[in-house]
Structure 1
Amino acid sequence: MDWLLERFNQAPDRAAFIHRDRHVGYKEVVDRTVSFRAWVVDGGILRGDRVAVLGDYSPEMFCMMLALAQNGNVVIPLSRESVVEKDSALGISGCEWLIEFDDEDFVPSLSSHVVNADHELLAALKTSAHPGLLLFSSGSTGRPKAILHDFDRVVAKFQKQRSPVSAIPFLMIDHFGGINTILGIVANLGTVVTVANRSIGNICAAIEHHRVELLPTTPSFLTMMIASNLHREYDLSSLRRITYGTEVMPQSTLDRLKADFPAVTLQQTYGLSEVGVMRSQSRDDGSLWVRLGGEGFQTKVKDDVLWVRSEFAMLGYLNAPSEFDEDGWFNTQDRVEFDGDYFRILGRVTDIINVGGQKVYPAEVEDVILGLENITDVAVYGEHHPMLGNVVVAKVLTTSTEPVTDLKRRIRRACNVSLANYKSPAKVVLADGPLYTSRQKKRRG
């Protein structure tokens, strides 16, 4: 961890953060981390203690996490829009302390917040004197899983320095992808540009105002952005690269992005909280085929499912059995096709809809529907059927009002032309709001 602060000292005047139009240089990041370390020690936080930190992206939140890591603590970052309630998270992980930032994410307060939850992984980490990072899954398939990492191992991935960029950390601070993004930016002495909220207008305005070069985001956000046409109202010419991950990208969205951003590199990314984020290379800007791996990662396909072995893997779950096999391979639960070194992600095994013994991938149905006029977004999922097991349901968000019977007819006609009959939606439901979660991922069901 010390190497990171030493690197920051190489560019003391360079902007590390632009937070609500406030420029914070790397020297200030180092100084604030050192002062927070002293504040933590004076407050009585001991090496090995578990500390929850509640806030959002800010220089102060980041510096506090570094200070706690240097103090050898287990850091539990929580955002105000977390998918896991604070009490639920702390009930699983346990905690000795709570640090909470004010509404401006500037001034921290410290309180004793003892929640007992013993676990052998936490005990072993404390014995090793390494700092920990504790994150939670979204809980979309049940109870959220508490994922414990060695914080030193997470940071070590970024020791090799690359070119600096200015970027918006789109995913939240309590999400592995969010922490991976922010570490990737600052480890390369780039600039983190924060936004007050992650609406399309705010993101586009920040790109224009601060000449942001990299936008790491999700297919759901990009689908909504393209459908809204809001990106046309801003000068986004500074963008050099758009990366997307966490869910399957519709080919129709990718085609529209390529047309609207011809000078921007479109790069698919892939990672999981359990194993980390791999280096990736899309076959080309308009392709959903991607090469995955990089130093410290290995991949293989078993029964059409992607497995990963990683040097940056989690230590384990605190509240669930390990999903690694005896050789250290992790089952991603992502079904894939492969062509030489390239993979195409088809979707999560848990999202597959079984219609009378036939498999339906929601993304392939969504892709057809998104290509129709007056469709802003769509979420496809399965609904129980007494004879078929499940039928396909499409929940649709339209751009303007349209008679429901006409909409259903258009959708079924398009799906019957492009897909097998059993993949066509048996039901079409009108949505009354966004179809994505606070993490900007598709909400199905």
Structure 2
Amino acid sequence: MAASGQVPLRDGRSSKVALSLGDPAKVILGLIALDGIASRILLLSPGMVSSEFDGLISEFDPDLIVTDNKALQSEGAVVTLWSEEIASVAERRSAPRPRICSTQWVFATSGTTGRPKLVEHSFASLSRATRPSKPGVETVRWGQLYEITRFAGIQVMLQGLAGGGALLLPNRISSLSAQLRLLAEWRCTALSATPTLWRKILLTGDRPKLDLRQITLGGEIADDAVLTALKREFTDARITHVYASTEAGAALAVHDGRAGFPESYLRNPPSGIVIKINDARLYVHNHDVTGKYLGSGQSFRDEDGFVDTGDIVEQRGDRIFFRGRSNGAINVGGNKLFPEEIERILLEQPTVSEARIFSRPSPITGQLVVGEIVPADPASDHKALAAELLNLCRSRLPRWQVPATLRVVAEIRSNAAGKIERSSL
């Protein structure tokens, strides 16, 4: 391990640095200190399990790992502890300065349905959805509920800082209610989260009043139920659901308060980012992303610059709706089922606050559809509620799509990216 404060780097055109820092403020300072000096910067989640960490480090093969974890060890790379000296480098570099190289920022995918993969982005790709604050308008104070090492977390960081606003960083180790209390105390006016996390926010009984002017949803399908609930709770807020992915980058934003997006976006994208649909799959144009997973070299962008998002969509009237992830479909006797479509039916019911559909192995059908729900009223008759919801599913779904069981639980587990944990726990 290198001595504290020393940041040994080779020529910037060849140096690769991994940041594994528990404090999001240190991540920001580390990015400022290294951008334009290191050729690649990998952002690692501090809560990552050791097997995932070791796998990503092996693929990235860094020259240097900067960490605030004294116990971290790694073969083949210099490990240096964070120090105030590194922070001072960031402060000195906050003014315009010459760049040795064009740094690629590297992110791990969320790994919702498989092992995380590494994706490279240029700063141009990361900031293409960042909008500067309007002159004379009160400073927008963005709360950060995402891990800052995630693609979504960096989007919030850039909107808060590069967009001319303010960025509020509550301690993510704290409970959600504690984080919300801090954001209220710090006068947060803009907040971004996954639909899953927004449902948890709405369920937080002792949450303080947040005077939000901007609400953003991303990372999962935003259905009408959660959009309606947010409009009812935050009457003065503009509600936007965005589509972005680690591979494709930021793609589109919808402001009309309805699920899906207008079909006209395919012809006239309001943000200038071209999208298309081919064989029911959504593609996003992005020439600023490398287009191959780092390490494996597997391509995810075609020769015309379109990234296959893996999201399955369908058109109904003048609207495009998301059905689910192609790699998240459940195979039931040769038929494909998207969990989100059953979850949407359950979440339309006022008796349900959260829902998760997943699968268990079945020797007969291959996979067995099962589900969990969180009741809106914890004191309700759980057995009767589950039976009622199963009857609802039978009335609206083909037999093979109906869950074999629905279990009432206190909470639906989410992963580090704030999305529903899809694996059968």
Q: 2:401 aligns with which of 412, 416, 423?
A: 423
Post-superposition offset of 1:358: 4.2
Distance in 1, Cα, partners of 2:75 & 2:368: 47
Look up the match of 1:300: 276
Structure 1 111/397 Cα, relative in aligned 2: closer, same or farther at 3 Å? Answer: closer
CA contact (8 A) 2:130 2:158 kept: no
CA distance in 1, matches of 2:140, 2:164: 8
Q: CA contact under 8 A between 1:275 and 1:314: conserved in structure 2?
A: no
Partner of 2:84: none
Q: Retained in 2: the 8 A contact 1:98–1:111?
A: no
Preserved CA contact (<8 Å) 2:106 2:120: yes
Q: Provide the residue aligned with 1:327 in structure 2.
A: 304
Return the offset for 1:413: 1.7
Partner of 1:368 in structure 2? 345
* Counterpart residue number, 1:122: none
Contact 2:359 2:370 in 1 (8 A): yes
TM-score by length of 2: 0.80
Question: Corresponding residue for 2:57?
Answer: 90
CA contact (8 A) 1:99 1:110 kept: no
**How many Å apart are 1:235 and its aligned residue?**
2.0
Q: Does 1:175 align with 2:150?
A: yes
CA distance in 2, matches of 1:66, 1:158: 20
TM-score (structure 1 length as normaliser): 0.77
Indicate which of 210, 218, 222 corresponds to 1:236: 210
* Deviation sequence 1:367-423 (CA, Å, 0-9, x none): 222344654422102334344443321122345266654233112122233434433
Following the alignment from structure 1 to structure 2, what is the Cα–Cα distance between the partners of residues 131 and 425? 48
Give the Cα separation in 2 of the matches to 1:392 and 1:406.
Answer: 20
Match of 2:27 in 1: 61
Confirm or deny: 8 A CA contact 1:416 1:424 kept in the other structure. yes
Return the letter of the residue paired with 1:100: T
Tell me the residue number matched to 1:435.
Answer: 413
Aligned counterparts of 2:238 and 2:319: Cα–Cα separation in 1: 18
Contact residue 338 and residue 344 of structure 1 kept, 8 A:
yes
Q: Which amino acid aligns with 2:244?
A: G
Consecutive unaligned residues of structure 1, counting only runs of 5 or more, are 1-38, 104-108, 117-127
User: Is 2:370–2:403's contact at 8 Å kept on the other side of the alignment?
Assistant: yes
Offset of 1:357 from its aligned partner? 4.6
Across the aligned residues of Structure 1 and Structure 2, the Cα RMSD in angstroms comes to 3.1
Structure 1: how far apart are the matches of 2:128 and 2:388? 49
Q: Does 1:314 align with 2:290?
A: yes
Which residue is equivalent to 2:94? Answer: none
Matched pairs, number: 385
Partner amino acid for 2:287? E
Matched, 1:196 2:162: no
Residue 225 of structure 1 corresponds to: 201
Determine helix, strand or coil for the equivalent of 2:416.
Answer: coil
1:144 aligns with 2:120: no
Sequence identity, in percent? Answer: 23
Matches of 2:355 and 2:131, distance apart in 1:
40
Shift of 1:331: 1.1
Q: Relative to structure 1, is the Cα distance of residues 435 and 59 closer, same or farther in structure 2, using a 3 angstrom cutoff?
A: closer
Contact 2:312 2:323 in 1 (8 A): yes
Evaluate the alpha carbon distance shift between residue 341 and residue 300 of structure 1 in structure 2; reply closer, same or farther with a 3 A threshold: farther
Matched, 1:355 2:327: no
Q: Which residue of 1 aligns with 2:233?
A: 260
CA contact (8 A) 1:304 1:337 kept: yes
Give the letter aligned to residue 281 of structure 1. Answer: V
Asked whether the 8 Å contact 1:83–1:438 carries over to 2, the reply is no
- Distance in 1 of aligned mates of 2:186 and 2:114: 40
Task: Give the 3 Å change call, closer, same or farther, for CA 389–43 of structure 1 in structure 2.
Answer: closer
Task: Specify the alignment match of 1:410 in structure 2.
Answer: 388
Corresponding position: 1:205 with 2:172: no
The aligned counterpart of 1:184 is 159
Letter paired with 1:353: I
- Match status 1:285 vs 2:263: no
What is the match of residue 85 of structure 2? none
Structure 2: which amino acid aligns with 1:236?
A: L
